[in-house]
Structure 1
Amino acid sequence: MTNYYTSGEFAKRAHVSVRTIRYYDQQNLLKPSTRSKGGARRYSDADFAKLQQILLLKYLGFSLGEIRGLTLGTNDRQRLLDSLQIQRRLVEERIEEMTAVEAAINSTTQTLEAGRPVDWSQMLKLLNVSVMTQSLKTQYQNATNISARIRLHRDYSLNHEGWFPWLFRQLDLAPNLKILEIGCGNGELWAANHAHLPDNCEIILTDISEGMLADAKKEIGEDDRFSYQRCDAAQLPFASEEFDLVVANHMLFYCSNIPQVLKEVRRVLKKGGRFCASTYSKRHMHEITDLVQDFNPQIVLSSVKLYDKFGLDNGEEILAPFFDQVTCRRYEDAIELDVAEPVISYILSCHGNQTALLLDRYQEFKQFVEEQVAGGFHISKDAGVFICCK
């Protein structure tokens, strides 16, 4: 039996006001699980989980509009589990940051009380609190999206080797290499293959996002072979002919000026060095696009067709002016599953307009996907990597 609570009972148990509960309903953030015959709101135990997420995201600095999209489908068990795991990581980050702020306050206080000159640079840690909050917001969004994408591929792909082990093999690592990855994301390429890394190598991971670099550090852990640097791939802060290998895993198509990035990659590569750039073709996972457009033709999962910017079909032509030799290796794989939740999570992780169009129709959409995948659902995969030599 499901326990239901009136708005007043629900608000009292959650230590918030009834006005707050009603406001979240009006803002399409927290709808009641059901209503009485007279139309009064009734909330279930499961609604507490969504309220907890709303309040935490609000504390972390998200706007109500951002929270609305991030909490869509939270009552689904797996999405709730994923969200809680990411929330825990963010709370740990906040604890570390606030501990540093506390230390700065204590240090300055002790200095003032002792009558010694104050190192005011310590106070910069206090000024950085707002920057920390913004970093946490970006980190939450990035981590949520990447988690959903990785889980779909990891748990339901037919090729059991997995993308990251396969890509790692294509790198053909040897001892004493100096390696650069541009757009490293959460560092999964290296975390998944950590046991197979040569002992004597140097790996620099870069990304435009501080949040992604923080995730990569956590995924990889303590390892003297790795260092991390925030930078734009179009303006690499490294010397010419510094690296034996540069890696760009599914990131070139996000760059606004691909020729400039390739020019920089060539510059920092040693003569005889290699550049490995992965991407996919227009066939890749087209069944998911077909699925959402069958539900609502207005849904666009990405405003830009990334494979048109840099894909398996045009990649060699784009790379050829910058490298002496370009070869393409394809990763043979597909996805098959008969459960809806991983597909829904993947769809919600995309960078299109789907969240706005599904806010008021989530339960209907969920039922539609469940019907489509029942009995088995096949998703084509067409990804690979270009190996380029300087």
Structure 2
Amino acid sequence: MSRANDRDIVKFQYNSDKNLYARQALHRGFSTNKYGWENWVFDQYMFKPNDKVIEFGCGNGSTWANNSNKIPKDIKVTLTDISEGMLSTAESNLLEIEQIIKYCNMDIQNIKYTNSYFDCAIANHMLYHVQNRDLAISEIARILKEDGTFYVTTNSIYNMKGLKNLVMDFDSRLDYSSFSVASEFGLENGAEQLSKHFESVEKLVYEDSLHITEPKPLVDYVLSLEGHVNIQEIMTESRTKEFYQYLKDIILKDGSIDIPKASGMFIAKKPKKLTE
């Protein structure tokens, strides 16, 4: 088990959308690809009339909220998350979207639906937090119809390259270097994991980077990693102010902090069905 999928850390990290929102804010404010990650992700969804759709780890529901005008009128969407706080936030954010018919507190490793029930399943940036991914992916294959599709987003091991060094150059006590979600399930190793339970796996990459011209959103991003990184032990109020000044000085000197991004999506089809 790593800190990426330690159940207690994950529950602490996502008991509300505070940390997730801080990370989303940095990407929304300073991404160089102005089309937008959530727009691109939604564009990949090929929903058919009357599809039953389920999302695991729905978070604050931002992908649906930002694409509400694109959601087909006749699909039925179930949103799930292991965090009651996240589900509550998602429901508050998505009250006007009639296609979302149910919110469920559910673990992807133990899905409470019958075989071949859904047409589409979605898991955005969450499989790397699952302890038993093989079980989770087999559960997805089980609940999908034979022509069903599983949409999965994640990062590359090269995503945000340079940020760890930036943080550790400020304070080497921060154990950021050992934290990697992509080593669990990323663009480099996700297809192999999915292929055990799906006949077809396609990988799509979203081209983007960060051009950061203000220190505070990056400070908030780093602080949002509490639990995954030993933030609480090191980043006292005074140390956080010093970190802000450290980033401000870099931006004043160089004009910006530029960080490459590497994220994408797997589209898995033809689920392998277990024989009795």
Interval containing the TM-score (normalised by the shorter chain): 0.7 to 0.9
- Corresponding position of 2:269: 389
More helix per residue: 1 or 2?
A: 1
Q: Structure 1 counterpart of 2:246, which letter?
A: F
How far apart, CA to CA, are the structure 1 residues paired with 2:159 and 2:251?
18
- Corresponding position of 2:231: 354
Q: How far 1:301 sits from its partner (Å)? A: 3.5
Does 2:138 correspond to 1:263?
A: yes
How far apart, CA to CA, are the structure 1 residues paired with 2:13 and 2:74?
31
> Unpaired runs of 5+ in structure 1?
1-136
Q: Structure 1 counterpart of 2:16, which letter?
A: N
More strand per residue: 1 or 2?
A: 2
Give the TM-score of the pair, scaled to structure 2.
0.88
- Corresponding position of 2:7: none
Q: Deviations for 1:27-84, whole angstroms, at most 9, x for unmatched residues?
A: xxxxxxxxxxxxxxxxxxxxxxxxxxxxxxxxxxxxxxxxxxxxxxxxxxxxxxxxxx
Does 2:216 correspond to 1:341?
A: yes
- Corresponding position of 2:250: 372
1:157 to 14, 31, 34: 31
Give the TM-score of the pair, scaled to structure 1.
0.63
- Corresponding position of 1:48: none
How far apart, CA to CA, are the structure 1 residues paired with 2:56 and 2:207?
25
How far apart, CA to CA, are the structure 2 residues paired with 1:140 and 1:314?
24
- Pick which of 163-172 and 303-312 moved more: 303-312
Q: How far 1:339 sits from its partner (Å)? A: 1.1
- Corresponding position of 1:182: 56
State whether residues 183 and 207 of structure 1, in contact with CA within 8 Å, keep that contact through their aligned partners in structure 2: yes
Residues 140/383 of structure 1: CA separation in 2 closer, same or farther (3 Å cut): closer
Q: Over aligned residues, Cα RMSD in angstroms? A: 1.7
Q: Structure 2 counterpart of 1:373, which letter?
A: I
Q: Structure 2 counterpart of 1:383, which letter?
A: S
2:84 to 196, 210, 219: 210
How far apart, CA to CA, are the structure 2 residues paired with 1:224 and 1:302?
43
State whether residues 301 and 347 of structure 1, in contact with CA within 8 Å, keep that contact through their aligned partners in structure 2: no
Q: Secondary structure at the residue paired with 1:310? A: coil
Residues 333/224 of structure 1: CA separation in 2 closer, same or farther (3 Å cut): same
How far apart, CA to CA, are the structure 1 residues paired with 2:133 and 2:156?
17
Does 2:185 correspond to 1:305?
A: no
What is the correspondence of 1:1-40 to structure 2 with a 5 Å cutoff? none
Q: Structure 1 counterpart of 2:29, which letter?
A: D
State whether residues 155 and 264 of structure 2, in contact with CA within 8 Å, keep that contact through their aligned partners in structure 1: yes
- Corresponding position of 1:244: 119
State whether residues 293 and 299 of structure 1, in contact with CA within 8 Å, keep that contact through their aligned partners in structure 2: yes
Q: How far 1:262 sits from its partner (Å)? A: 0.4
Q: How far 1:362 sits from its partner (Å)? A: 2.1
Q: Structure 1 counterpart of 2:18, which letter?
A: T
Q: Percent identity?
A: 37
Q: Secondary structure at the residue paired with 1:368? A: helix
Q: How far 1:200 sits from its partner (Å)? A: 0.5
State whether residues 120 and 144 of structure 2, in contact with CA within 8 Å, keep that contact through their aligned partners in structure 1: yes
- Corresponding position of 1:132: none
Q: Secondary structure at the residue paired with 1:142? A: coil
- Count of matched residue positions in the alignment of Structure 1 and Structure 2: 254
Q: Secondary structure at the residue paired with 1:153? A: helix
- Corresponding position of 1:332: 207
Residues 327/188 of structure 1: CA separation in 2 closer, same or farther (3 Å cut): same
State whether residues 241 and 270 of structure 1, in contact with CA within 8 Å, keep that contact through their aligned partners in structure 2: yes
- Corresponding position of 2:105: 230
State whether residues 247 and 275 of structure 1, in contact with CA within 8 Å, keep that contact through their aligned partners in structure 2: yes
Q: Structure 1 counterpart of 2:264, which letter?
A: G
Q: How far 1:274 sits from its partner (Å)? A: 0.5
> Highest Rg: 1 or 2?
1
Does 2:42 correspond to 1:168?
A: yes
Residues 356/166 of structure 1: CA separation in 2 closer, same or farther (3 Å cut): same
Higher relative contact order (CA 8 A, sep 6+): 2
How far apart, CA to CA, are the structure 1 residues paired with 2:42 and 2:67?
7
Residues 142/289 of structure 1: CA separation in 2 closer, same or farther (3 Å cut): farther
State whether residues 164 and 177 of structure 2, in contact with CA within 8 Å, keep that contact through their aligned partners in structure 1: no
Residues 172/140 of structure 1: CA separation in 2 closer, same or farther (3 Å cut): closer
Q: Secondary structure at the residue paired with 1:324? A: strand
State whether residues 201 and 267 of structure 2, in contact with CA within 8 Å, keep that contact through their aligned partners in structure 1: yes
Does 2:163 correspond to 1:288?
A: yes
Q: Deviations for 1:222-275, whole angstroms, at most 9, x for unmatched residues?
A: 433211111110000001001111000000000000000001000000001100
How far apart, CA to CA, are the structure 1 residues paired with 2:96 and 2:260?
37
- Corresponding position of 1:131: none
